[in-house]
Structure 1
Amino acid sequence: MASQGLLLPRLTPAASGISSRSIAALLDRLEARSVECHSLMVVHHGHVVAEGWWAPYSAERPHLLYSLTKSFTSVAVGLAIADGLLSLDDRVVRVLPDHVPTGISEHGSRITVHHLLSMTVGYPTDSLAEAWELEPDDLVKGFLGLSFAEAEGTRHTYDNSTTFILARMVERVTGRGLAEFLDERLFNPMGVDHAEWDRVKSGAVFGFHGLHLTTEAVAAFGELLLRGGVWGARQLVPREWVELATRRQINCAPDEEGGNNADFSCGYGYQFWMSRHGYHGHGSFGQQCVVVPSHDLVVAVTAQGESQEVFDALWECLLPAVNHAGNARDDEILAHRLRRLSLSPVPGSAGPAHSVGATLDASAEGSALPDGTGVIVDPADGGWTVRFESHLDVEVGHGHWRESSPLGRPVAAAGAWQGHTFVADLYVVTTPHRVRLVADAETGTASATWSTVPLTGPSLELHVRSPLMTRPDVA
């Protein structure tokens, strides 16, 4: 993958006024809580002061952001409003009249851009599954045809459909696809040339999910917000929109301070969450863009874990050390540690020097491939080629990560023999997810299960194709 120039300047933690020991303590805390981080970037006073990627993840590779995508769609809405093409009071039925169902309720006809942005449409749960079931070929029409239970604008309920509709509204009024619109108005001016998108079967981007960006691009987005929409000498996003989108528009369900999901109980803006300190864009499994204006701080994280664990670590380990500079020796120790970050390859031996076959049993929850799939483990130089017959081949390293792109998107894998069993971890490294393959040479059986099942479904084939295309069925 071609690399691009740096988006943000670098500075040592000590020179920026942050103790390297606090960042090391943050890493220790995340490891102690078994949070599987894939990347971390800390930006203070506009400079990257710490950055690290856990191999096989790497700096130049875009990573699936899940619902952090929503915050970028919010910016697109703000740009369309600034252009005079849309307003907060515009109703869905006016902007998308060809998606209005027959017999729409008065409630459905009143839903506005404001209600969609703040997720206060009045439906009691995430409406995505119900709306899709009601209208399999038109999610907007299915949404508008729902029976809404509560008055619009009164209660926040997290709802993916709202952002999907916002994306379609932006596209209608601008005459551009959401991806192309954001490329022109946001990503290209920032120097981000690697935005990738998953898409629904029609070819449109999800809007509420599916954006892939590098960690530095996520951090740069946070820095753009922190500076009120200014990038370099250009006002890319109106300051008024940044301030509006990133402040509380509606309360969320209360939670005890420091308790479970405390940083998701502080209120919701326009596709941004309020935090105990500042605000954040959030994606499932720990994709975060955290902005703390009071400390002139941005933290970008990609991971496979629980987001609240990350927040607790940030507030307890990192935040108290801001504006308490360390020293050059501590900086060197931290930099050395960050350069050596890695997820652990499967331990074990190189095993037999001949091919081993097995048949996949898909009865385990989270199986990544169909039942009965033939699995062949072929020795190769420094590792193996694993053939999932009639589906795909994956290269696997022994003691190191070996990368292949069997259907377009990269898979980084490492494995080993543990007795008569071959074990390998297959990381779909443009996502948070991995598949654990276990093949028993004695019984001739195998399993291939996700560590965490992707929200777009369990098919491994689907997630290694580029671009991923599916119906909008994210849970």
Structure 2
Amino acid sequence: MTGMVDRLDAVLNAGEAPGLHGIVVVQRGERVLERYGAGQDFRLGDPLGHVTFDAGTPHDVRSITKSVVALLYGIALESGLVPDPGERLLDQFPAYRDLADAALTVEHALTMTLGLEWDESVPYTSAANSEIAMEEAPDRYRYVLERPIVEEPGTRWSYCGGATALLGGIIARGAGRPLDEYARQVLFEPLGIGAFEWTKGADGVPLAAAGLRLTPRDLAAIGVMVLRGGDGVVPEGWLREALRPRVPIDGDRHYGYHWYVETGATPAVSASGNGGQRLLVIPSRDLVVAVTAGDYDVFDRPGTAAVLDAVLRD
């Protein structure tokens, strides 16, 4: 363990991860490493100024939110509040029966294989980014459901925040309450997570694709729950389904139900978000790593990679 700590401190002292805001490492149920930094931060696009982080400071986890939504879907499914993954997607949105009856299923949304015309390759500060365009549209669900289908659904993974928005809408409708309130009751409070934030859109709806704010400790608590097979909070059977490699991305990297699945020499599951946010679970090492960082929209800065390499290197 001393080696892990020394390696990480060497990375930080050398200035190789200037954007690091926080890291918590839990191994064999014990918090074995914890570090916090400082720097400019944002709540999605809104500047928060220079923030000095500590164990109680909430942080955008950006698209890790998507993976949390998948956990919520499993809880809601166990309670009979949402449809099975094989059900038709448009049937869950009766207000849009005027749209073409596309053969899309909930599972296509869970695996991001909807085949829609959708592009999140441009910065999230531009309406040319489909997720931003969705949030600026009068009706986010209609915006997603009326996108043209440009390839056969179920054949190829293509990153799509719209898929998560649809899942969040289905959960909220089935639960009869906003997504954040449902999450508080069935996931966060059972895990001992009392303080969290969930940024909302202009319509007051929690942003399912990227709005969640958690501390690194609470992010790690979610990872520990996943490591323990749901811990009685998320159904174990759902986790097995969610963390199964379903769609290839590249090499040993696959997608499950809104979680990344590594099938190489050291199998792992992970969630990630813009700016260097990471939640990594490695069962063979009984290890959970939660990282928050401020490298938003900078995809070639190696800070989080250097941090993870220091922690994971044997």
CA contact (8 A) 1:95 1:172 kept: no
1:38 to 8, 17, 21: 21
* Structure 1 match to 2:292: 302
Could you give the per-residue CA deviations for residues 71-105 of structure 1, whole angstroms, max 9, x where no partner exists? 110111111111123210122211111034x3x33
CA contact (8 A) 2:276 2:292 kept: yes
Could you give the per-residue CA deviations for residues 323-375 of structure 1, whole angstroms, max 9, x where no partner exists? xxxxxxxxxxxxxxxxxxxxxxxxxxxxxxxxxxxxxxxxxxxxxxxxxxxxx
TM-score, structure 1 length as denominator? Answer: 0.56
Deviation of 1:191 (Å):
1.4
Structure 1 residues 135 and 180: CA distance shift in structure 2, 3 A: closer
Secondary structure of the structure 1 residue equivalent to 2:20: strand
The answer to whether 1:25 aligns with 2:20 is no
CA contact (8 A) 1:68 1:287 kept: yes
Secondary structure of the structure 2 residue equivalent to 1:267: strand
Q: How does 1:67-466 map to 2 (within 5 A)?
A: 67-85=63-81, 86-100=83-97, 102=98, 104-106=99-101, 109-126=102-119, 129=130, 132=133, 136-230=137-231, 235-254=232-251, 266-275=253-262, 277=266, 278-305=268-295, 309-311=303-305, 313-314=307-308, 316-321=309-314
Secondary structure of the structure 2 residue equivalent to 1:200: coil
Deviation of 1:36 (Å):
1.6
Could you give the per-residue CA deviations for residues 443-464 of structure 1, whole angstroms, max 9, x where no partner exists? xxxxxxxxxxxxxxxxxxxxxx
Q: Percent identity?
A: 31
CA contact (8 A) 2:293 2:304 kept: no
Q: CA RMSD in A?
A: 2.3
Distance 2:59 2:131 in 1: 29
Deviation of 1:32 (Å):
4.7
Which consecutive unaligned segments of at least 5 residues does structure 2 have? 39-51, 121-128
Secondary structure of the structure 1 residue equivalent to 2:63: helix
CA contact (8 A) 1:40 1:53 kept: yes
Structure 1 residues 170 and 130: CA distance shift in structure 2, 3 A: closer
Secondary structure of the structure 2 residue equivalent to 1:49: strand
Structure 1 residues 70 and 184: CA distance shift in structure 2, 3 A: same
CA contact (8 A) 1:177 1:204 kept: yes
Which consecutive unaligned segments of at least 5 residues does structure 1 have? 1-17, 255-264, 322-475
TM-score, structure 2 length as denominator? Answer: 0.84
The answer to whether 1:50 aligns with 2:33 is yes
Q: How many residues align?
A: 284
Distance 2:277 2:135 in 1: 31
Deviation of 1:22 (Å):
2.3
Distance 2:306 2:253 in 1: 14
Deviation of 1:223 (Å):
0.1
Instruction: Answer 1 or 2: higher relative contact order, Cα 8 Å, separation at least 6.
Output: 2
Structure 1 residues 215 and 135: CA distance shift in structure 2, 3 A: closer
Distance 1:81 1:252 in 2: 26
Secondary structure of the structure 2 residue equivalent to 1:205: coil
For 2:86, give the aligned amino acid.
Answer: D
